[in-house]
Structure 1
């Protein structure tokens, strides 16, 4: 194939005397298509080629032949190129969406290329039944950690539905620093969110919600995309603005917190100092009272002893010696002995 393309590039291009107009053909998906190119049997040195041009790809050579009759058949994927009486035919059975392209029939005569026919073939699939994808904008900006619910309404005509299955709904987010939207959530193929209007010929409405607790990095535009019949339809987008606390307010809150902590620390220090001072003063008072009490106790003991002694002396009986007999002197000695014992007991 590369050799043929190289030859095509080095050859000269031209147009024949029998110029053909450029055609446009639209075919439904899955139908058969036949493209024809006229063939002149007299020119034995003439070659015919069918090529296909697709955007952003190299040209494809689908088949080639010569002018005189030849039963050779070229097959490229599901496409067949062969001779038929007076024509060079390109047959595409059961067309696919990828068959949409520009098809050229070119004639090569020695070192000259002539474009004989060109066809723009457009393959169309079943049209989606969706009539509108509407997103409800948010009224106010949100703060971080706030719950947010985004809503997407899909309006469709169920009577014109040609594709099996339910809609597939996706949510994309396009951030400020992102070049491409990123997929963040999909609803799958659930049809529980749809409700049919009782009015005749009225569209069916399906409402899809997406809820999330927002952080400061979630700012951007959120798009609701609905896939149906091989196509994707996007909503108008919902812009989400995050309200961030300003630096001044943040600094103010930090300053208040620091002041409260400092005041609490100072209060604890003052309370500890007062408790220490009270305990220390109480210890000094107890130490001073104890010696005074001991001295007073000793003084009182001495006074009591002195009083007892004085009392004993004051009440000491006066024993007068009289001339008496042995019984009288014995009684006097007994009395003195008792007095001496009592005085010694009291003093001790």
Structure 2
């Protein structure tokens, strides 16, 4: 009995150590009301493992969305609505929400493993933007390109749909900025501001110096006001590499050197070719003249012999 208890304690301890050494951070997805959202859980490599997808709304306990036990996928009752579908492909189990509503806003995460050893997969927080409300968040610009080392200023406005103005804010509010970099699985909190002044402004700005490529990505603004959290559509910050003047000058000089070398090679080859042509022409003309003289001498010799023969015939 003591041995079994010790083994159980050891297994529990190993499970806790495994979950502590392998933390999973939460990523962010912003979807408009009426849009689509898809979450993926990896396909189990070993048969017999359990797989569950959970939804945890803000301030509430986590509730299972579907369970996979012994190869059978079962969707729980709150998610039997036609808006929710759970399918499988070669590598993932896909959970899709169609016609997203505000109540779908929550953190979704996978839970895999055995009965005695479960581990959390990566989670994703689904933020639902409800543009039908009286206020919404507008971010400008949509895209910003800067040089490394330059500063960029991002603006976020809480605008009322009634007058499309950002002159007055509805009560106290908290503003947070998040950055979701390319290739990263989680957003990082950059700045949080709480406005408790009497004169409240609905325009918020964030100045950020882009030192390197890791500072690029999509910057989101989140405003918590009137019991709700409103997210902006995000501003994508990119870096464009500036051409170094030294590299430009070296490139121009290299092009000039290549041009001069090509011209010299062409000129030298042409000159050699012309000299060879002149030599061949002079040799050919000499041969022609000598041939002509030989032919003339031969003609003259033949003519002399003929005259001698004629003279000899006449003398006989």
TM class, shorter-length: 0.3 to 0.5
TM-score (norm 2): 0.34
Larger radius of gyration: 1
Q: Greater relative contact order (Cα 8 A, min sep 6): structure 1 or 2?
A: 2
